[in-house]
Structure 1
């Protein structure tokens, strides 16, 4: 009996130690992430995305709903979205960010004549409290989308703020999104190099490279199939941990050739904007800083028009990194030239965390 208690105590100690280690890892990852987001050049790069910024400007500045409203800007950065809201005659704008870049947001507000409207709050939205005279907000604005829509885990912060502070009739900008999958032709990954590097076998590196989802620019002429919707979001009803999902897909091939990879991209909508503003990160749409997310197949598929590539697409947040995403992709292809069943796992790292 005493031995059983001792064994239980040892297990509890190990579980407690493991939990403490994960908590410490999370704090380090967050500190590194927010340090990187404090760099001006990162925000300059984001602001130069004309497709994104035009959509936000039109959805906010030309919207009568903002007049005399209280606005919460989650992850405000330099405060540009806050300035849009203030220019739309918001009563009060609370700009929240844990990165040092928020030090510039208050100055930006003052320089543009909105110092009395915009208040900058330094910290994570999960940790801060609103001013004593504000219980609810009327609007939440946030640039929450990451690569493959979910990378960076920013959506969780928006949903936290929604549940805690958004009024019953409040709006979120943007509030809808759809994630799509398609088949593309592309480059063959030249990974054979790793088998013989100066006479040494580094195939372990090859296996690591094969498991990486790649953020790159894909053009419309690379598309080999019709697209398939794998995830749709409505931020007014979406539950937390929405990045964890499993979806069947069926891609109808449009032309003869080779399929080297699957590509994921997303559309975003501002359903409460006056003109129902939206934009797309499709390979057929104008460039955005998100580019597209590519999953290279270990076996290229020889395809003919009219054939179908079927499979299962599974996504979840990484257990090792709070800002990375993990994927399991099953592909079942029964073509005239070749039949293939593929199962591959991928990791998508937030590009900032690699700096």
Structure 2
């Protein structure tokens, strides 16, 4: 079976691809990715991970307010992609949905089923265990009116759940159907932060461990950034309309210009995202900005090899590129080019970064 899938992936316009991607390598990647998927769904089947998500006040308040008291859900069929414990499905049922399909590939469906029964929605919500790409709708249901999904990952795109939402949208959403949330924007800014003290690795008890430094420099960091650390205006690097976005939208490059707003040092660039629910009566939205209330996504920080001494009014320019890792479904890869010109000095650099879901790191 693996070999048939690999051959299909290698086939290009009726011919097999060149030896750059051999059949053996394609087979290995498929097997590795399936192992990684198994680990991913096992992780998200843990109660403490689901508890972590359910205790995110900004996330849950936005979904609750966007769905409850929303006439759009009255007598509608709803698909909840990646339902977890089923809280979004419960919101939809309480808002008057006629039927809700709650789909998740992790063992949380066992709890979701019990929770649905305990709350009296067993006749409305059907819990299905499986990847949305692998399941089928009940025989008497051909389309759904609404899709709800918490697809956003760290730096918006980690874990690539957006493609699962797009799959469900293209296969099952009726013409004119609604998606919750239905917009997202990724932003970049410059921040002051901590010096990483990576020079430590050059001399550890008389030995050169700079190979560790190089690895540390290449890691994007998920951490909490405060509004007081922000040193520039923000720049929009990606905007998504979930009704029209296509697969592989997490693979892009964008030019940026960050206008400095105060004197001091810039140690890093930071990425954060906003999402919106345009089909809610109050057009609900929430942000993971350093200026917004805390969310479990925090912010994604890219530390510069050389901090920049900046003055208000100056600009940091460059190119920001992002792509899913070929080798790991957990990782995003970034290339960030920085060009800074300031009163007689010029700093240009290009750094590559890898972002891994910190929950995955903790489970490995």
After TM superposition, the structure 1 = structure 2 runs for residues 92-131 of structure 1, keeping only pairs within 5 Å, are: 92-131=99-138
1:84 maps to which residue? 91
Give 1:313's aligned residue: 320
Task: Give the CA deviation at 1:194.
Answer: 1.3
Q: Kindly state the Cα deviation for residue 308 of structure 1 after the two structures are TM-superposed.
A: 0.4
Residues 153 and 322 in structure 1, CA contact (< 8 A), matched pair in contact too: yes
Does structure 1 residue 202 correspond to structure 2 residue 195? no
Aligned to 2:279: 272
The match for 2:338 is 331
Whether the aligned pair in 2 keeps the contact of 1:301 and 1:338 (CA below 8 Å) is: no
Deviates further, 11-20 or 327-336: 11-20
- Match of 1:57? 64
Secondary structure at the counterpart of residue 158 of structure 2? coil
User: Within 5 Å, which residues of 2 pair with 1:15-26?
Assistant: 15-26=22-33
1:36 counterpart (43, 53, 56): 43
Q: CA deviation at 1:193?
A: 1.5
Q: 1:3 — aligned with what? A: none
* 1:40-75 Cα deviation digits (max 9, x unpaired): 000101110001100000101121110110000000
Q: Which runs of 4+ in 1 moved over 4 A?
A: 11-14
Question: Could you list the per-position Cα deviations for residues 256-283 of structure 1 after superposition, in whole angstroms to 9, with x for gaps in the alignment?
Answer: 1000000000111001111100011110
Superposed displacement of residue 337, structure 1: 6.2
Q: Relative to structure 1, is the Cα distance of residues 136 and 335 closer, same or farther in structure 2, using a 3 angstrom cutoff?
A: same
Residue 235 of structure 2 is matched in structure 1 by 228
- Counterpart of 2:179 in structure 1 is 172
TM-score where L is the length of structure 1: 0.96
Name the CA distance, whole Å, in 2 between partners of 1:195 and 1:131: 61
Q: Distance in 2 between matches of 1:349 and 1:218?
A: 18
Residues in 1 aligned to 2:19 and 2:304: alpha-carbon distance in whole angstroms:
42
Contact 1:312 1:330 in 2 (8 A): yes
Change (3 A) 1:264 1:12: closer
Partner secondary structure for residue 156 of structure 2: coil
Q: Counterparts of 2:185 and 2:23 in 1: how far apart (Å)?
A: 39
Partner Cα separation in structure 2 for residue 178 and residue 129 of structure 1: 31
Equivalents in 1 of 2:260, 2:19: separation in Å? 53
Q: Residue 5 of structure 1 corresponds to which residue in structure 2?
A: none
1:11-56: per-residue Cα shift (whole Å, max 9, x none)?
A: 7798111111111001000000000011000010111000110000
Query: Is residue 179–residue 232 contact of structure 1 (8 Å, CA) maintained in 2?
Result: yes
Give me the whole-angstrom Cα distance separating, in 1, the residues matched to 2:358 and 2:130.
22
Matched ranges for 1:157-306 at <5 A: 157-306=164-313
Distance 1:102 1:153 in 2: 21
SS in 2 for 1:152: helix
Secondary structure at the residue paired with 2:353? strand
**Partner Cα distance (1:238, 1:72) in 2:** 19
Cross-structure match for 2:9: none
Q: Which one of the candidate residues 70, 74, 81 is aligned to 1:74?
A: 81
Residue 196 of structure 1 deviates from its aligned partner by 2.0
Alpha-carbon displacement from aligned partner over 1:151-183 (angstroms, at most 9, x marks no partner): 111111000100000000110000101100000
Distance, in Å, in 1 between the alignment partners of 2:46 and 2:205 is: 38
The two structures have a TM-score, normalised by structure 2, of 0.93
How many residues end up aligned between the 2 structures? 347
| Helix, strand or coil at the partner of 2:189 | strand
Tell me the alpha carbon deviations over residues 313-353 of structure 1, each in whole angstroms, 9 at most, x when there is no partner: 00111111112110000000001263100100000101222
Distance 1:184 1:14 in 2: 40
Change in 2 beyond 3 A, CA 1:138/1:14: closer
Equivalent residues of 1:249, 1:312 under 8 A apart: yes
2:348 is paired with a residue whose SS is strand
